[in-house]
């Protein structure tokens, strides 16, 4: 009688349902896309071991033999809720198989804030190889993403479009100089002609 594999831990099932990591679509060079939505990652609920097990079982095997890119949405990420920690990031990076690292050709980093830019410019050079670090491409607005990615093949959560629209009203948010609290609508302003990219795409 064949032995039954134990069911995955509840944390892993939870991580899978949240759709933090999703392989779907291709960029304009025909490379597969691993979409990572940072805000969806429950860093305070899912342990590092469970995260690594999920990647090793569900994600890495599908990326071994094909060129791919990472599309990372940093939108709405909060250190206290969605950031696993510097040591955890290094551990995850070290766990990526060499064959997978070799197939990674670009990282599209959407909505990077000042803290993320500083982290990559300093510790990022230490934690990641220069080859991987050199593949990071910052994307400050969604409409700029479509220069690299096939629009009809990628699902973008609504809150990311909303944040993009907020940046049009308050561009200083890009540099971490404004909080991202909901804006208060009052009398029409000179900015009232600015529309969401969803309306003109």
- Reported as a single tens digit per residue, the pLDDT across 55-99 is 999 999 999 888 999 999 999 998 888 888 888 888 888 899 999
Q: What pLDDT is recorded for position 16? A: 84
136-139: strand order across its sheet = 21-26, 32-37, 68-73, 104-110, 136-139
What is the Cα–Cα distance from 39 to 63, expressed in whole angstroms? 23
Q: What pLDDT is recorded for position 128? A: 76
Q: What pLDDT is recorded for position 132? A: 80
Q: What pLDDT is recorded for position 53? A: 92
Q: What pLDDT is recorded for position 34? A: 96
Q: What pLDDT is recorded for position 111? A: 92
**Spans of the chain, pLDDT less than 50:** 1-2, 5, 175-201
Q: What pLDDT is recorded for position 9? A: 60
Q: What pLDDT is recorded for position 63? A: 93
What is the Cα–Cα distance from 69 to 33, expressed in whole angstroms? 5
**How far does CA 63 lie from the centroid of its chain?**
17
- Domains of the chain, earliest start first: 10-200 (3.40.525.10)
Q: What pLDDT is recorded for position 199? A: 38
């Amino acid at each position: 009688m064949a032995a039954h594999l134990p069911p995955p831990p509840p944390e892993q099932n939870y991580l899978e349902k949240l759709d933090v990591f999703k392989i779907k679509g291709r960029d304009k060079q025909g490379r597969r896309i691993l979409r990572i939505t940072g805000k969806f990652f429950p860093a305070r609920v899912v342990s590092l071991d469970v995260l690594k097990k999920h990647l090793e079982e569900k994600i890495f095997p599908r990326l071994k033999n094909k060129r791919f890119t990472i599309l990372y949405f940093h939108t709405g990420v909060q250190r206290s809720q969605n950031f696993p920690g510097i040591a955890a990031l290094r551990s995850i990076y070290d766990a990526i198989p060499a064959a997978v690292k070799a197939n990674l050709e670009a990282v599209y980093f959407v909505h990077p804030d000042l803290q993320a830019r500083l982290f990559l410019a300093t510790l990022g050079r230490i934690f990641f190889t220069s080859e991987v670090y050199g593949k990071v491409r910052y994307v400050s607005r969604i409409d700029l993403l479509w220069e690299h990615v096939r629009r009809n093949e990628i699902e973008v959560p609504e809150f990311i479009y909303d944040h993009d629209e907020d940046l049009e009203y308050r561009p200083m948010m890009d540099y971490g100089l404004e909080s991202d609290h909901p804006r208060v609508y009052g009398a029409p302003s000179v900015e009232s002609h600015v529309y969401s990219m969803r309306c003109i795409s």
